[in-house]
Structure 1
Amino acid sequence: MNKLGILAGTAAALATTVVAIPTADAHAQSIVLCSQTALRAAITQANAAPGPNTLLLAPGCTYNLTAPDNPGNGLPVITSDITITGSLLGTQNVIKRQSATAFRIFSVQGPNARLALNNLTVRDGRSDSSGGGGISNAGGALTLNSVEVTGNLADFSGAGGGIVSSGALTIRNSTVSFNRSTNNGGGLFSFGTTTISNTTVTGNTARDSGGGMDARGSLTLTNSRVTDNASDDAGGILSFALTGTITDTLIRGNTVAGDGAAGGGVLNRSGSTLTLERTTVFANRAITSGGQGAGIANGGAGDTVNLRNSSVSYNYARSAPGGILNDGGTVSLTATPVQENYPTNCSPSVIAGCTN
């Protein structure tokens, strides 16, 4: 074979493989060339290899997934410790479904599975069964750093339009936007341990509850924004059987649109204890007949909301109250004004420090 033939053969081989590069630490690193075949091969190899593995995506590449790798999933199921890092040069890497067939992008299946995503976008995934239109984490550990999860759908009975997680979920410096669920958790549905910081959850919708997020188990939400999400109930955040803290966060412009719905910004229920510190609950809405508690709705006995150095203002409901609905639970206010809500600020249970 002449030299041109050898070069052509080599180029063709590289187009469907990964290129391993030596590292000084224990992490194996591989460069993933720009094709869905190369990405699938790299994940398969990393699953089989011992120890943590890092996959470095090709600069500027959009990895279009045109068919599922396995039933319901665009890529091989993550079963080991894998980090996938997008390039910091130029356009952010995108991994997306480009097919009429429904499948999510990533599936993580624990308990030994760990997936970290850095500097990339996950978009246009769709789950028609078990939820997690973009990413599903079943008992493993999922970490997102500077990641955008957008335009994904959990259809039929599935929850978590963008993300569903039953394990450990950590999100930093990221955006969860314009995802949809026909069940709960338009942006994300988590019933494990959830830690979110410096992240925007915006424009997500759920047909049932938790337009922005449905959080169960434990939640730590810090220095973030939950804005312009919508659902029939709990427009921004559904806190369900949860112990959680929300700190230095803006909850704004979220909407509930079901008849008699509550919790435009936050709905706290089913034995939850939720503490808001230095958090603004502003201009959320309960827009349909009987809608209440456009800012915050707290459920019955055993449900507790503590607000410290926060504010609840300019929220609107069709029925009283517009600010905080306390339906037999406990709400405490410390240096927290509740004011300029329509038609009233607080009811029906007495909340010390809140007047109409």
Structure 2
Amino acid sequence: MSRRYVPAVLGLVAGALVALPAPAAHAATVQVPCSVPDLVAAINAANSSPGPDTLQLARGCTYELTAPDPVSPGNGLPVITGEMTIDGRGATIGRDRRGTKVPRFRILFVGPTGNLTLTHTTISGGFATDCPAFPDPPGLACGGGISNAGTMRVSRSRFTGNTSSSELYAQGGAIDNPGTGSVSETVVSGNRVIYGGTAVGGIAAGAGIANDGPLTVTRSRLTGNTASVTPDTDSIAFGAGIISFAETTVENTVFSGNRSHAPGGIARAAVANGIPEPGRLTVTGGAISDNTSNAPHGDAQGGGIANNALMTVSKVKISGNRVVAEKGTARGAGIRVGPFGTLQLTDSHITGNTADAPNGTAQGGGLDNPDGGNLTATRNKILRNTVTAKNGTAQGGGLYHGGGTTGLGTTTLEGNTVTHNRAGDGGGIFKASGTLTLNGDVVRENRPNNCSPAGSVPGCTG
């Protein structure tokens, strides 16, 4: 070959090499020994990998974290920035709570570029001291177990004993989701969200899960979680099970034994829709049972559900929930609709809920729509709910309705059964103002009466 052809041939070869497609990134599976340094190294390697990786943890191991990540000290493990699956295979990742000198940190943070699938893993003992997705203003605390600002899929896992605590605003005792997330077949139990400050107007929201979404929760259990605030600071504890600030879908999930506690403040519901923002909270199937909102000399608003935005509830058992406010106001033991709330309730059972306010005011044992919200209830069973207030006012055993300050609040009932409810007045329904319509509903056998004041509800007698 003559020398003058060499550059041309090399050019053709180089062009061919450039044109070749890059080899596809292959998923890697890594066995992680029962060692925290090995887990840290595996996460760092997966973050650097061009493709998705699966980290298989040692079966039955407890990865006990005693110090935060040096790069991101709000977290126990390195920030998830790549795509990975952590398959716990029954392992636990937890913060060591035995040592008094162990600092506080959450377990996991999924950064904006992160994509985490977490399965068959227990996350325990995390303690959030910051809010990485919302760093301003400082002093917020979000997601004691996990905070997700990227993409997160949790399945067949457990979150237990995690805490988010702040002297300003705390949310997401176990899980905080400002990214895109899903939680399925998972138990979220015994987690806490705490406002521990002394200033007026603090907030503790979402002891189990706080969502700035979107988020889907399916076939899971949220039990025994607690939202609490410093007494007598006029602060709000709400969403002991879940608080929704964005599009949230909940399917076939159980909320039970959750508690919101706010002495001298506002305690609000196991399942709560936050402030009026775009996005609907949809709850289908499952149960919301035996939850409590307790606000001595304050306001207890919604034991099972409190809605102040857009919400749809269908085929849900809402039973045994309580709102308690000695020397205060207890409203909506089963469901409360706030002044900006719109709720569509269908084919559900609202049974055995109790509103109790000794020396105070109790209203709406089953349903409460007192402040100008909009409630449409179709084909529901509203049975055996109770409103009591020794030395106080007790109204609306099945339903309390008021139009609010504008008088524009509406409640439309169609095909419901309202029976065997009890209150001091309006054992079935108490209407204070606004518009309330019955259409083919059965309202009977309530004590001491079915509807009050007499004649206020067309179509209701006795």
* TM bucket, shorter chain: 0.7 to 0.9
**1:120 and 2:150 equivalent?**
no
- Which residue number in structure 2 is paired with residue 293 of structure 1? 364
Q: Secondary structure at the match of 1:261?
A: strand
Which residue of structure 1 lines up, in the alignment, with residue 199 of structure 2?
none
Residue of 177, 192, 210 corresponding to 2:223? 177
Distance 1:205 1:171, change over 3 A: same
Paired with 1:44 and 1:107, the residues of 2 have a C-alpha distance of 12
CA drift at 1:209: 3.0
CA contact (8 A) 1:55 1:82 kept: no
CA contact (8 A) 1:16 1:37 kept: no
Cα-to-partner distance string for 1:302-339 (whole Å, 9 max, x where unaligned): x1111111111100002121010011221111111111
Give the C-alpha shift of residue 141 in structure 1.
Answer: 1.6
Distance in 2 (CA, whole Å) between partners of 1:155 and 1:145 is 25
TM-aligned CA deviation for residue 299 of structure 1: 2.7
The higher-RCO structure (CA 8 Å, 6+ apart) is 1
Which AA in structure 2 matches 1:172?
T
Match of 1:198 in 2: 252
Map 1:109-258 → 2, pairs under 5 A: 109=149, 113-129=150-166, 130-137=170-177, 139-156=178-195, 157=202, 158-182=204-228, 183-207=237-261, 208-216=266-274, 217=277, 218-231=280-293, 232-240=300-308, 242-258=309-325
Equivalent pairs counted in the alignment come to 327
User: Which structure would you say has the larger Rg?
Assistant: 2
2:421 counterpart residue number: 341
Secondary structure (helix, strand or coil) at the match of 1:30 reads strand
Q: Note the alpha carbon deviations across 1:48-83, whole angstroms, 9 max, x for none.
A: 33xx322211x222222127xx98642242113433
Q: Secondary structure at the match of 2:107?
A: coil
Q: Secondary structure at the match of 1:18?
A: helix
What do the CA deviations read for 1:107-135 (whole angstroms, capped 9, x no partner)?
Answer: 123xxx11111111001011111221111
* 1:8-87 pair list within 5 angstroms: 14=38, 17-18=41-42, 27-33=52-58, 34=61, 35-36=63-64, 47-49=80-82, 52-57=83-88, 59-66=89-96, 73-79=105-111, 80-87=113-120
TM-score (norm 2): 0.64
| Distance change >3 Å, CA 308–CA 225, structure 1 → 2 | same
Q: Is contact 2:151-2:180 (8 Å) kept?
A: yes
Cα deviation for residue 233 of structure 1 reads 2.0
Equivalent residue, structure 2, for 1:3? none
Give per-residue Cα distances to partners, 1:138-160, cap 9 Å, x unaligned: x3122101111110111114211
**Amino acid in structure 1 at the alignment position of 2:305:** I
Give the structure 1 partner of residue 339 of structure 2. 270
Secondary structure, aligned partner of 1:54 = strand
Report the CA distance shift for 1:260/1:44 in structure 2 as closer, same or farther (over 3 A): closer
Shift of 1:11: 8.7
CA separation of 1:71 and 1:288: change in aligned 2, threshold 3 A: same
Aligned equivalents of 1:47, 1:161: Cα separation in 2: 23
Q: Distance in 1 between matches of 2:81 and 2:344?
A: 43
Kept after mapping to 1: 8 A contact 2:333/2:353: yes
Q: 1:316 to 1:71 in 2, by over 3 A?
A: same
3-state SS, counterpart of residue 80 of structure 2: helix
Q: How far, CA to CA, are the matches of 2:93 and 2:77 in structure 1?
A: 16
Contact 1:173 1:197 in 2 (8 A): yes
Deviation at 1:249, TM superposition (A): 0.5
Q: Any idea what the Cα deviations from partners look like across 1:84-111, whole Å, max 9, x if unmatched?
A: 3334xxxxx3211078x998111123xx
Q: 2: distance between equivalents of 1:275 and 1:243?
A: 9
Q: Decide whether the 8 Å contact of 2:79 with 2:108 is kept in 1.
A: no
Normalised by the size of structure 1, how large is the TM-score?
0.82
- For the residue of structure 1 that corresponds to 2:109, the secondary structure is coil
Aligned partners of 1:18 and 1:31 also within 8 Å: no
Q: Distance in 2 between matches of 1:47 and 1:86?
A: 15
How far is the alpha carbon of 1:193 from its aligned partner? 1.0
Asked if 2 retains the 8 angstrom alpha-carbon contact of 1:18 and 1:32, the reply is: no
Mapped to 2, the partners of 1:118 and 1:83 lie a distance apart of 11
Aligned to 1:317: 387
Sequence identity, in percent?
Answer: 23
Question: How far apart, in 2, do the equivalents of 1:169 and 1:331 lie?
Answer: 29
CA deviation digits over 1:251-304, x for unaligned, max 9?
A: 000000022211000000122110111111000000123211010100333x11
1:46 touches 1:53 (CA, 8 Å); kept in 2? no
In 2, the alpha carbon distance for the partners of 1:66 and 1:127 equals 16
Task: Name the aligned partner's letter for residue 125 of structure 2.
Answer: R
1:305 matched to which residue of 2? 375
Gaps of 5+ in 2: 1-32, 70-75, 130-140, 196-201, 229-236, 294-299, 389-393, 404-408, 444-449, 452-462
Separation of aligned partners in 2, 1:47 and 1:94: 17
Given that 2:186 and 2:220 are in contact with CA atoms closer than 8 Å, whether structure 1 keeps it comes out as: yes
CA distance, structure 2, for counterparts of residue 11 and residue 316 of structure 1: 53
Report the 3-state secondary structure (helix = DSSP H, G, I; strand = E; otherwise coil) of the residue aligned with 2:362: coil
- Asked whether the 8 Å contact 1:72–1:127 carries over to 2, the reply is no
**Does the residue aligned with 1:86 lie in a helix, a strand or coil?**
strand
SS at match of 2:110: coil
